[in-house]
Structure 1
Amino acid sequence: MRNFCVLIDEPTAVSALLYACMHVYKHAYGAQLFSTITISHDSSASPETSMGSEAPDPAVAASVPLVRLNHVSFQCTSVEKSVDFYRRVLGFELIKRPESLNFNGAWLYKYGMGIHLLQRGDDADGCSIPTRPLPAINPMGNHVSFQCSDMAVMKARLRAMDREFVVRKVWDGETVVDQLFFHDPDGNMIEVCNCENLPVIPLIVASTPGLPELLPPAMQTNVHG
């Protein structure tokens, strides 16, 4: 158990936030983070962190004025094939692109986010990309993930469209998350999951001497259509 001192400008608001975080941590892990928390305007106080006696970097601690994910962008060998994939498989809708974009591409939108497709080998860059086989589906690779309200329906949809996918499950205590991984026409990885089952529990850096322990490997199954 440790004492924790923090310098702040608004003691009342931040104290409530700190105690709320402690409550979440204690509920999740059955342990208390600190025996006491000191909240002070006094610049002579010495904040203690797991990294030493240095105060937090103001640039890191400052609020970041971001709101949400706007879009992801993919280069594709065929804009038409990729548009067909994202419309039929994932339900996206075509939207108007700005007139100033003088190269081949398409914009799609659904679920509060956009997908911007850019044609590889378009006249704008003067190069051509040869067709190559899709890589193996690897859930550990870079991917975009979509929250799904009915995994059984999505799995049946992929089978009906004869799309290869990988089924994966991950556990956290009694919580189970189902995942489906598959490729778009250019090998970009797509995940569909019911990840809302996992609670979002903030990790307080000052109390964590190292990274969390790795969980056991998740169960994975390859499915062909």
Structure 2
Amino acid sequence: MLKPNFTFRCRDVAKTAEWYSSLLGFSMIKRPASFDFDGAWLYGYGVGLHLIAGHPPHASRDVINPKADHLSFACECGLEEVEALLKYRNIEYKKAHVEEGGILVTQVL
């Protein structure tokens, strides 16, 4: 059985790893010491997440771009709970709405 891993470049590996672990529940796992570049490995929800130091391509903090590299999650709680947690943690975010066939999906970045 294959287990998916996703790799993302990020400006601050430690801050990004903290965000994925404390906010989304990912766990830090051992990363090969032979890698000679800054990075971190995390695991959660059956997914491996590999973070690498560097400027993320095609990403913007100003708008949600569905064509940019990303990892998304569907939440079982309400949007209000997600927004309350983000506000509590002083995390800036953007919202976008996508409607298809009468179904409204709200995206948060």
Find the aligned partners of 1:156 and 1:103 in 2 and give their Cα distance. 35
Percent identity of paired positions between Structure 1 and Structure 2? 34
Picking from 58, 62, 82, the partner of 2:16 is: 82
Structure 2 residue 72 is matched with structure 1 residue 138: no
Structure 2 residue 34 is matched with structure 1 residue 106: no
TM-score by length of 1: 0.40
Structure 2 residue 102 is matched with structure 1 residue 177: no
The answer on whether the counterparts of 2:64 and 2:95 sit within 8 Å (CA) in structure 1 is no
List per-residue Cα deviations over 1:157-211 (Å, max 9, x = no partner).
1111111212222222332222212xxxxxxxxxxxxxxxxxxxxxxxxxxxxxx
Find the aligned partners of 1:136 and 1:79 in 2 and give their Cα distance. 17
List per-residue Cα deviations over 1:47-79 (Å, max 9, x = no partner).
xxxxxxxxxxxxxxxxxxxx7661221233332
Find the aligned partners of 2:102 and 2:63 in 1 and give their Cα distance. 25
The match for 2:5 is: 71
The match for 1:159 is: 87
Aligned to 2:40, the other structure's residue is in SS state: strand
List per-residue Cα deviations over 1:109-138 (Å, max 9, x = no partner).
111111101234xxxxxxxx8xxxx94422
**Number of aligned positions between the proteins:** 103
Query: For the structure 1 residues 76 and 158, does the alpha-carbon distance in structure 2 shift closer, same or farther, using more than 3 Å as the test?
Result: same
Partner AA of 1:138 in structure 2: V
Unaligned runs of 5+ in 2: none
Aligned to 2:73, the other structure's residue is in SS state: strand
Question: Is the radius of gyration larger for structure 1 or structure 2?
Answer: 1
Partner AA of 1:115 in structure 2: L
TM-score by length of 2: 0.74
The match for 1:15 is: none
Picking from 46, 65, 74, the partner of 1:147 is: 74
| Moved >6 Å (runs of 4+) | none
Query: For the structure 1 residues 69 and 168, does the alpha-carbon distance in structure 2 shift closer, same or farther, using more than 3 Å as the test?
Result: farther
